[in-house]
């Protein structure tokens, strides 16, 4: 099995593909659909370049951290315990834990899909990318159609 590429830097497309493959294998084994995984990857590409070791703005211990840019980073690190940095497998465990336990993901009026529905959804990756953006990431600027485009690209890559 491939190893995570991780560190406090932006990844190249080839490096992102490596990490996306590892992540997809994990979430498929947890019962997620490829559509939901691709939607999450479309968001992660923007958030972290699918890099579990990256800090927001490359500034260590400030702001967000990891694949989904947990903000503050202690939302992840306090839960993860020792060896939390540069640990893609542990970050995947955390995301799955959040979805299973009603943390971080909250349905909105525009996207009323629950976390349980999201994980097994066969809606398009483009639509699900917006669900993930609005219900999980919740950035100040939610008008980010490129996340949907990226989700489709990840879906096509993983289908490959």
Are 95 and 43 in contact by the 8 Å Cβ rule? The answer is: no
Whether 137 is a known active-site residue: answer no
pLDDT one-digit tens code per residue, 49-74: 999 999 999 999 999 999 999 999 99
Question: Helix (H, G, I), strand (E, B), or coil: what is residue 109?
Answer: coil
Are 129 and 43 in contact by the 8 Å Cβ rule? The answer is: yes
**Per-residue confidence (pLDDT) for residue 10, from 0 to 100:** 98
> Among residues 17, 25, 47, 123, which one is catalytic?
47
Which letter does DSSP use for residue 12 in this model?
A: P
Record the tokens describing residue 58, joined without a space: 């490359």
**Per-residue confidence (pLDDT) for residue 1, from 0 to 100:** 65
Using CA of residue 119, residue 121, residue 126, residue 127, what is the dihedral sign? negative
Which helix (H) or strand (E) is 115 found in, with range? Answer: helix 115-119
**Per-residue confidence (pLDDT) for residue 152, from 0 to 100:** 98
pTM: 0.98
Using CA of residue 151, residue 115, residue 91, residue 7, what is the dihedral sign? positive
Q: Mind listing the domains of the chain with CATH numbers?
A: 13-159 (1.10.530.10)
């Amino acid at each position: 099995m491939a190893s995570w590429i991780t560190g406090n830097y932006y990844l190249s497309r080839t490096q992102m593909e490596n990490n996306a493959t590892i992540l997809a294998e994990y979430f498929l084994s947890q019962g997620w659909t490829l559509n939901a995984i691709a939607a999450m990857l479309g968001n992660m590409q923007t958030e972290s370049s699918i890099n579990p070791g990256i800090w927001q703005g490359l500034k260590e211990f400030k702001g967000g951290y990891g694949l989904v840019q947990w903000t503050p980073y202690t939302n992840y690190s306090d839960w993860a315990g020792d060896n939390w940095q540069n640990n893609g497998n542990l970050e995947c465990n955390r995301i799955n834990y959040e979805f299973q336990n009603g943390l971080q993901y909250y349905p909105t009026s525009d996207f009323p899909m629950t976390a349980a529905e999201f994980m097994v959804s066969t809606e398009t990756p483009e639509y699900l990318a917006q669900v993930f953006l609005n219900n999980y990431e919740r950035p100040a600027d939610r008008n980010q159609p490129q996340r949907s485009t990226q989700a489709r690209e990840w879906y096509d890559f993983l289908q490959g």
